């Protein structure tokens, strides 16, 4: 069912985020602790921003398991960034294909998803009919996740002003509402899990949702602080994790990267969240 990680804050070396912590996302690719199936070996992707070179992110993806990719092992200690998305995949909708690896990229946006729309093929065609020609052409792969991203961008296209973070949140909520309405229209009762993350490189929005109120959403945690350091496989988070306070660094992760529970808080079930350019995280109910 995949695992994901997002970081925003002072520049960090990718190696520290991806490999070096006690329970890094690379370790989650073969030994996930908060899902029934421990393996996430159907490919991976990493997206990061190099602002002095381009406002658009770099993306590196592969269908090889993350734990066994020599290129990633070589690159990670030599790249640093202040905004990073990372995802290890357990394929559900869509084949094991590089086009189906997260994060998905459009201009300065990155998007990734943990979960799935159950019976997605039943609503795929009407969902595509909701898109503009431009957003329809953007879809290259088969995943429900990429279709969700296209629907989000379609809503964003309809806004005259995207300078306000609230507009991003509204576009994401409209996207989820469309999916729920389509499922209801086609009589699809099975729960869909929508742990979503989207960034434009300076701000971030996301959700921890499941469409059946009787079910618990997939795990999603966050940690905030002034900086993150990783030495001798020990991740240290410096700073006060109080929600709503101004922070310089934020980590969002499907699974905690260290064993210090006091460093981490859960994104509450069926909530949206946003992180502004200054690092303040705000959590709101769905």
pLDDT at 214 over 60: yes
Residue pLDDT, tens place only, 88-140:
998 787 677 899 999 999 999 999 999 999 999 999 999 999 999 999 999 99
Collapsed DSSP state (helix, strand, coil) of residue 205? strand
Q: Which is it for strands 281-285 and 271-275: parallel, antiparallel or unpaired?
A: antiparallel
Least trusted range by pLDDT, from 11-20, 31-40, 50-59, 230-239:
230-239
Ranked by mean pLDDT, the top range of 32-41, 136-145, 251-260 is: 136-145
Instruction: Tell me the two tokens of residue 279.
Output: 């690092």
Residues with active-site annotation: 2
Element (H, E) at 29: helix 25-31
Find residue 40's DSSP bridge partners: none
Dist. CA 154–CA 108, nearest whole Å: 15
Phi-psi region of 263 (alpha: psi -120 to 50; beta: other; left: phi over 0): alpha
Would you place residue 255 in the very low, low, confident or very high pLDDT band (cuts 50, 70, 90)? very high
Residue 87 is given by DSSP the state E
Instruction: Tell me the two tokens of residue 165.
Output: 């973070």
This prediction has a pTM of: 0.94
Dist. CA 163–CA 166, nearest whole Å: 9
């Amino acid at each position: 069912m995949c695992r994901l990680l997002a970081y925003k804050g002072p520049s960090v070396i990718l190696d520290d985020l991806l490999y070096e912590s006690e329970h890094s996302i690379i370790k989650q690719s073969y030994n996930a602790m908060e899902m029934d199936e421990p393996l996430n070996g159907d490919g991976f992707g990493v997206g990061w921003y190099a602002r002095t070179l381009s406002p658009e992110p770099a993306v590196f993806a592969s269908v090889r398991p993350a734990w066994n990719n020599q290129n990633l092992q070589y690159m990670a200690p030599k790249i640093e960034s202040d905004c990073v998305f990372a995802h290890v995949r357990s394929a559900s909708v869509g084949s094991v294909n590089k086009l189906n690896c997260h994060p998905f990229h459009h201009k300065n946006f990155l998007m990734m998803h943990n979960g799935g729309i159950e019976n997605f093929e039943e609503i795929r065609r009407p969902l595509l009919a909701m898109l503009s020609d431009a957003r329809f052409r953007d879809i290259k792969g088969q995943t429900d996740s990429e279709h969700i991203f296209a629907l989000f961008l379609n809503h964003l296209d309809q806004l005259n002003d995207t300078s306000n973070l609230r507009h991003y949140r509204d576009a994401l909520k409209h996207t989820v509402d469309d999916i729920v309405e389509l499922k209801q229209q086609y009589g699809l009762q099975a729960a869909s899990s929508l742990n979503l993350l989207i960034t434009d490189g300076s701000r971030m929005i996301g959700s921890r949702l499941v469409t059946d109120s009787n079910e618990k959403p997939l795990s999603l945690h966050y940690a905030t602080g002034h900086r993150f350091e990783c030495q001798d496989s020990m991740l240290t988070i410096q700073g006060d994790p109080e929600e709503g306070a101004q922070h310089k660094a934020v980590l969002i992760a499907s699974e905690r990267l260290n064993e210090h529970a006091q460093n981490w808080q859960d994104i509450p079930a069926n909530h949206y969240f946003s992180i502004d350019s200054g690092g303040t995280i705000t959590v709101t109910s769905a």
